[in-house]
Amino acid sequence: MIKTSGEKRRVCVIGAGTAGLCALKNSLEAGLDAVAYERGTEIGGTWIFSDEMPKDEYDEVHSSMYEGLRTNLPKEVMGYPDYSYPDDIAESFITSNQVLEFLRSYAEHFKLRPHIKLQHEVIRVRPRLDDWEVYVWDHSTNSCDPVYYDFVYVCNGHYTEPDIPDVEGLDLFEGEKMHSHLYRKADKFKGERVLIIGAGPSGMDITNHVRVAAQQVFLSHHLSTTPNTAFMGNVTQKPDVQRFTKDGAVFTDGSTESFGHVMFCTGYKYTFPCLSTDVGIQVIDNFVQPLWKHCININHPTMAFVGLPFNVIPTHIFDMQVRFTLKFFTGQRKFPSREQMIADLEQEIQERWGCGVRNQKKAHQMGERQFVYYNELARIAGIENIKPVIHKLMKDCGKKYIFDLDTYRSNKYTIVDDENFLKNGKPIV
């Protein structure tokens, strides 16, 4: 489609969760004509709690939210750089509902609602010569039409498709098998013996919820440092499962246990069911490629993925990725050549592998690296970096879910200025 001069460039945002709302807001502010399609009936994605279960093996529920969840990051780092949580919330570690309320107020504040189409599912995205063909299924009218866009932001979230390891004997196990994606309430484990596999943020937190109802919980993991479960009387730590049996498992240290339920807290897979193969993106062992700076589709640089990196400060990284990509989408910066983008990607992979992270599954893991990444995005696109206080605060609260799970959520943070914060009323240097 030929654009007349002065005609606004059109942006399609897939999803209206934390990332999609941010992509929408910044695109509109950059003077683009943007629409966010959300397949659900409300905005907020992950933060919407629902105990509805999949109706059959083909059905999918989006959110992994469970009853009683409190955030594992303080709200002081969970706001957007230009829109913070209200000061009248006393706690730093808040409920999922408070996060959802915040996202709704973000949408109201920036007048995003008229640009969001609820119950509209993007079912196919295909590149044409100079734009994108996007098929959108309107659930309310059961109709599906193509719409054409200059740019696409993929913000479909990545906590929906469970990643369950292949463990010997799992088929033999006669008890209940589930993934944390469909965990909702601890009550169902009342008086039961439960094996939880994985000691990441979800595994640790769910163990702490389930142990209250369960008779006994076994927490199987291969962390090199032992999590603090001293306060959880009925939780026993175990190494990896060697094989499952009819009513339990044998662990790699030779011990055996019996239990009626196993819950895999083993993470998720990136999936992009609506992207056609000619979009040129592959997911190999959870490595989404080829992407420049973890977000730009090198094969079609008018498409960006927001929020793939993990072990990050989600809202801040989303906002930076969106502001970074918009500099290119609005023509204020020119993309490097395809060869240069590939070379940058290869160099990063070499650096990662060279640091010992040979696992493709960790290709988008950030942790400490995220601060180097933010610096890079800021430098390349000439955008504002995250504030030093966010970096410092994040350093103070990282990994607390492993060692201080019983106490860390009672900490109260206060941001004083761009550099400084208080923890429980005291300055931290």
62-70, 248-256, 340-348, 417-425 -> range binding ligand FAD (CB under 6 A): 62-70
17-25, 275-283, 339-347, 391-399 -> range binding ligand FAD (CB under 6 A): 17-25
Compute the least distance from the CB of residue 250 to ligand FAD, in Å: 30
Residue 196 interacts with ligand FAD (CB under 6 A): yes or no: no
Compute the least distance from the CB of residue 14 to ligand FAD, in Å: 5
Q: Are 248 and 256 in contact (CB under 8 A)?
A: yes
Compute the least distance from the CB of residue 310 to ligand FAD, in Å: 8
Cα–Cα distance, 409 to 70 (Å, whole number):
8
Nearer to ligand FAD, 260 or 314 (CB): 314
Nearer to ligand FAD, 92 or 220 (CB): 92
Compute the least distance from the CB of residue 382 to ligand FAD, in Å: 25
Residue 98 interacts with ligand FAD (CB under 6 A): yes or no: no
In the block, residue with structure tokens 């734009």 = 131
φ, ψ (nearest 5 deg) of residue 323:
-65, -35
Residue 207 interacts with ligand FAD (CB under 6 A): yes or no: no
Residue 45 interacts with ligand FAD (CB under 6 A): yes or no: yes
> Pairing mode, if any, of strands 143-149 and 132-138?
antiparallel
CB atoms within 10 A of CB 352: 18
**Count of residues engaged in binding ligand FAD, rule: CB under 6 A:** 30
Q: Tokens for 29?
A: 């502010």
Compute the least distance from the CB of residue 251 to ligand FAD, in Å: 26
Residue 18 interacts with ligand FAD (CB under 6 A): yes or no: yes
Residue 38 interacts with ligand FAD (CB under 6 A): yes or no: yes
Compute the least distance from the CB of residue 325 to ligand FAD, in Å: 15
Burial class of residue 23 (count of CB atoms within 10 Å of its CB; 0-12, 13-18, 19+): buried
Compute the least distance from the CB of residue 293 to ligand FAD, in Å: 17
Compute the least distance from the CB of residue 137 to ligand FAD, in Å: 8
Q: Could you say which of 9, 12, 13, 15 contacts ligand FAD (CB under 6 A)?
A: 15
Residue 107 interacts with ligand FAD (CB under 6 A): yes or no: no
SS (H, E, C) the chain: CCCCCCCCCEEEEECCCHHHHHHHHHHHHCCCEEEEEECCCCCCHHHCCCCCCCCCCCCCCCCCCCCCCECCCCHHHHCECCECCCCCCCCCCCEHHHHHHHHHHHHHHCCCHHHEEECEEEEEEEECCCCEEEEEEECCCCEEEEEEECEEEECCCCCCEECCCCCCCCCCCCCEEEEHHHCCCHHHHCCCEEEEECCCHHHHHHHHHHHHHCCEEEEECCCCCCCCCCCCCCEEEECCEEEECCCEEEECCCCEEECCEEEECCCEECCCCCECHHHCCEEECCEEECEECCCEECCCCCEEECCCCECCCHHHHHHHHHHHHHHHHCCCCCCCCHHHHHHHHHHHHHHHHHCCCCCHHHCCECHHHHHHHHHHHHHHHCCCCCCHHHHHHHHHHCCHHHHCCCCHHHCCEEECCCCCEEECCEECC
31-39, 275-283, 339-347, 374-382 -> range binding ligand FAD (CB under 6 A): 31-39
Residue 46 interacts with ligand FAD (CB under 6 A): yes or no: yes
Compute the least distance from the CB of residue 228 to ligand FAD, in Å: 19
Residue 115 interacts with ligand FAD (CB under 6 A): yes or no: no
32-40, 221-229, 252-260, 336-344 -> range binding ligand FAD (CB under 6 A): 32-40
Compute the least distance from the CB of residue 294 to ligand FAD, in Å: 13
Binding mask 64-83 for ligand FAD (x = CB under 6 A): xx-----xxx----x-----
Residue 202 interacts with ligand FAD (CB under 6 A): yes or no: yes
Strand partners, 292: 296
Residues 239-298 that bind ligand FAD (CB under 6 A): 274
Nearer to ligand FAD, 118 or 342 (CB): 118
Residue 17 interacts with ligand FAD (CB under 6 A): yes or no: yes
Q: Could you say which of 307, 390, 409, 413 contacts ligand FAD (CB under 6 A)?
A: 307
The site for ligand FAD (CB under 6 A) is made up of: 14-20, 37-40, 45-46, 62, 64-65, 71-73, 78, 121-122, 155-157, 159, 202, 274, 307, 314
